Amino acid sequence: MSKGAVMEMTTAAQTIMEREKRHVLQNYGRYPLALARGKGSYLYDFEGKRYLDLVAGIGVNAVGHAHPRLLKVIREQASRLIHCSNLYYHEFQGLLAERIARASGLDRVFFCNSGAEAVECAVKMMRSHGHKISMEKYEIVALENSFHGRTMGALSITGQPKYRKDFEPMLAGVRFVKMGDVRGLDSAVSDRTAGIVIEVVQGEGGVYRVPEEMLRRARELADRHDALLVFDEIQCGVGRVGLPFAYQTLDPVVLPDVMVTAKPVGLGIPLGVVAAKEEAAATIAAGMHGSTFGGNPLACRVGIEFFDMLGELMPKVAARGEYFRTKLEALKRKHAFVKEIRIFGLMIGVELAMPGKQMVLDAMQEGLLINCTHEVVLRFLPPFTISEREIDAAMRILARVFKKAEAYWKEFQAAEKPA
């Protein structure tokens, strides 16, 4: 690429950013990077620089970028029918629902556009279920540190005050319990409880797995008090942990009444999913809920292709996760600021003893895309198709970033020492 072309592309990226700053709602804390295209595990900016992508659209791009099977399906379906309306049938919604029901062990499926919308539907299911028993049965129990989305219902059951404080008052009747606090769960659930909502692995909360004892107790309490048990698998589901859904890692499986998911199902085409047992599904009758775009032909056709690919992808997820573990544990032994490595398939959290934002920026400068949640947890959600060679490349960059971070660590320790 000529110098003139590079300058032109740089100007193009700057124009994109400046235009957004003028006209787009400033609700995102974007990094100073404009992306032009993607291929496989890599993204490319407008200067042609490539970045190894361990964010994958926050878990959406499970087969990487521009996968040939995905492109073929999108082209074929776009030429036939992109959208009709849920007033009518099309051939793919039932087929995808069947695949999800079979994979999840549940009975019926509702399609929407996002994880937050799926949670909204689940909230309505819990409320409707409770009201059929008693108008006083409307409470929902959720976990502290959880994240379920940014709509009002989803925010109401999100156990992080920083997300709720600007929009209060929230939905009434929500009780929060500490992660792993089984006694607290016992105290929170009563005959007024309409539902219990749990992320099997908390993603935005820092990549923490809910203890098996708590999941089993939640199932027992839901049964005892005639409440719906809802598992949020928006980030940890659909192959991310090496099985279709994270609750299936338990033996025996703890089956929820309702499961919500989204992220990779449409591989970038917006698609959210609510799967439910028959009894829970019956809480939503005709006219009680809907979605204009949910489950359109294009999204469902892509979702079917993804489920066709999952069988061969999931064994690789488990293997690549262990490969990441080996490499990251080796780095941990070299750097005192790395507190803990948490890996569930290809859902990875690296907890630091200091803020990680600068490391994210340093990694981006080196050509590696990662992000940081809870200020101190580096989170990786790589595509299921990532190779060992690409993991090695990522770890070489991360090693350089961590070496540079030793200086930040000394400064951080000095600042933390009492005067």
When pLDDT is cut at 50, 70 and 90, the band that residue 415 belongs to is confident
Is the per-residue pLDDT at 416 higher than 90? no
Task: Give the least confident one: 150-154, 337-341, 408-412.
Answer: 408-412
Predicted local confidence at residue 11, as pLDDT: 82
Task: Give the CA-trace dihedral at 68, 73, 76, 81, to 10 degrees.
Answer: -150
β-strands 228-232, 193-199 pairing: parallel
Looking up tokens 């929009």, which residue turns up? Answer: 167
Cα first-last separation, the chain: 54
Contact 184, 177 (CB under 8 A): yes
CA dist 7 and 90 (Å) reads 48
Nearest residue to 319 (alpha-carbon basis) of 368, 388, 381: 388
Nearest residue to 281 (alpha-carbon basis) of 109, 131, 116: 109
Percent of the chain clearing pLDDT 70 (strictly above): 97
CATH topology match: 3-67+312-416 vs 70-309: no
Predicted local confidence at residue 12, as pLDDT: 83
Predicted local confidence at residue 150, as pLDDT: 96
Looking up tokens 């791009």, which residue turns up? Answer: 61
Percent of the chain clearing pLDDT 90 (strictly above): 95
What's the token pair of residue 302?
Answer: 């892509």
Please give the model's pTM, rounded to 2 decimal places.
Answer: 0.94
What's the token pair of residue 274?
Answer: 């609510």
Give a three-class secondary structure readout of the chain: CCHHHHHHHHHHHHHHHHHHHHHCCCCCCCCCCCEEEEEECEEEECCCCEEEECCHHHHCCCCCECCHHHHHHHHHHHCCCCCCCCCCCCCCHHHHHHHHHHHHCCCEEEEECCHHHHHHHHHHHHHHHHHHHCCCCCEEEEEECCCCCCCHHHHHCCECHHHHHHHCCCCCCEEEECCCCHHHHHHHCCCCEEEEEEECEECCCCCEECCHHHHHHHHHHHHHCCCEEEEECCCCCCCCCCCCCHHHHCCCCCCCCEEEECHHHHCCCCCEEEEECHHHHCCCCCCCCCCCCCCCHHHHHHHHHHHHHHHHHHHHHHHHHHHHHHHHHHHHHHCCCEEEEEEECCEEEEEECCCCHHHHHHHHHHCEECEEECCCEEEECCCCCCCHHHHHHHHHHHHHHHHHHHHHHHHHHHHHCCC
Predicted local confidence at residue 419, as pLDDT: 60
Predicted local confidence at residue 2, as pLDDT: 37
Nearest residue to 67 (alpha-carbon basis) of 296, 274, 312, 236: 312
Domain regions of the chain by residue span: 3-67+312-416, 70-309
What's the token pair of residue 295?
Answer: 């489950």
Contact 359, 397 (CB under 8 A): no
| pLDDT, tens digit (0-9, with 9 covering 90-100), for 166-194 | 999 999 999 999 999 999 999 999 999 99
Contact 346, 240 (CB under 8 A): yes
Contact 117, 294 (CB under 8 A): yes
Is the per-residue pLDDT at 237 higher than 90? yes
| CB hemisphere CA count around 219 (13 angstroms) | 16
When pLDDT is cut at 50, 70 and 90, the band that residue 159 belongs to is very high
Give mean pLDDT, residues 287-299. Answer: 96
Does residue 146 come out as left (phi exceeding 0), alpha (psi in the -120 to 50 range) or beta? beta
The CATH architecture one would assign to domain 70-309 is: 3-Layer(aba) Sandwich (3.40)
- Determine the CATH number of domain 3-67+312-416: 3.90.1150.10
| pLDDT, tens digit (0-9, with 9 covering 90-100), for 67-109 | 999 999 999 999 999 999 999 999 999 999 999 999 999 999 9
Mean pLDDT over the full length of the chain: 95
Longest dimension (CA), the chain: 71
What's the token pair of residue 154?
Answer: 């989803």
Looking up tokens 């890996």, which residue turns up? Answer: 343
Looking up tokens 């590079």, which residue turns up? Answer: 6
What's the token pair of residue 340?
Answer: 């803990």
Predicted local confidence at residue 417, as pLDDT: 78
